[in-house]
Chain A
Amino acid sequence: MGDTTFAPDSPNTTQPIAGRNGTPLERRMLKRGVPGEVGIWAFILTDMSVFAIYYIVVALSRSRQPEVFLHGRHLMSLPTGLLNTFFMLTASLFVALAVQYIRQGRNGTSQVLLVGAGLCGTGFVITKYFEWGAKLAAGYTPLSDNFFQLYFMLTGIHLLHVLVALVVLAYMSRKVTHIRQVPAASQMRFIENGASYWHMVDLIWLGLFALLYLAS
């Protein structure tokens, strides 16, 4: 693959005491580089830890009330879950490809890909709307039992993440229109930040899918 460097953070134009990414230790940590900036990974790790706690709580609640969870899982529509997962994975694919094309300077193609990702994200939201609608019509609300409380609340929190991700996507697309041929470091950093956030949203969905739709 050769030499890979992600978009570098802004050059440190200040005194050695206060740098853009903090102390000399923190700058050393960046030597190999991360996509985007260090901060977005702090956010991603925080959000992933929060969702990890959500997963563990689902597992704990299940062990306390196995029948409720078994009953709830049987009411879950596996095809809908698979469709949701497909939308998430494909959106991630398009975003990852878009980042590569932006690096190559192929901004037009990347815009098409970003639109594609947006469509997948919207597809996810619409699917979720119908899925929830079906559950509610069948009489299952967040107040029904602990399984449905967790199902609606956790998929709801994830849905909020998706909605934010769609807004981020719009900003990324706008950023791409400002790129002339090859992106500047700060532009690339923003785009990589946004892309990493999208992948995180996809990642946390996979956990929810496994625990709520698949595992007994």
Chain B
Amino acid sequence: MTTTPVRSTVTSVRFIVGAWLTLLALTLLSGLFGAEHAVGALGVKGIDTAILLIAFAKVFVIAHAFMEHRHAAGWLRLSFAGWYVLVCGTLMALYWM
């Protein structure tokens, strides 16, 4: 085990806290959608789509900010992107059926 210090840049604390606040806001927003069902112009399917999109947006924020994908290798970001698209797409298709 070497004792060479790790040479790495610190992701700004403000950035991480900002991401967290964004996540909280998105959570509350999706909570509003979840509580008021089949209301307004969106309809049930619209609300479900909104909820799913917000959920995956939150997943993206976690990966991007917390898991530090901003600075990560291309193959990792690509795999995750594939996951977002496949899973969100399939779920939306199933909720629309």
The reply to whether A and B meet directly (CB within 8 Å) is yes
Which residues of A are interface residues toward B (Cβ below 8 A)? 1-8, 11, 29-35, 41, 45, 48-49, 52, 55-56, 59-60, 62-63, 78, 81-82, 85-86, 89-90, 92-93, 95-97, 100, 103-104, 180-188, 196, 199-200, 202-203, 206-207, 209-211, 213-216
Chain B residue with minimal CB distance to A76?
Answer: B34
- B33-91 residues with Cβ-Cβ distance < 8 A to A are 33-35, 37-38, 44, 47-48, 51-52, 54-55, 58-59, 62-63, 65-68, 70-76, 79-80, 83, 86-87, 90-91
Residues A214 and B34 in contact in the complex (CB < 8 Å), given A100-B16, A186-B1: yes
CB neighbours (8 Å) of A8 from chain B are: 6
Chain B: interface secondary structure?
A: helix
> How many residues does chain B have at the interface if contact means C-beta atoms less than 8 Å apart?
59
The CA-CA distance from A8 to B30 in the complex, in Å, is 39
Decide if B73 touches A31 in the complex (CB within 8 Å). Answer: yes
Query: Chain B CB within 10 Å — which of A81, A104, A211, A214 has the most?
Result: A214
CB neighbours (8 Å) of A96 from chain B are: 16, 65-66
CB neighbours (8 Å) of B33 from chain A are: 214
CB neighbours (8 Å) of A184 from chain B are: 1-6
CB neighbours (8 Å) of A207 from chain B are: 55, 59, 87
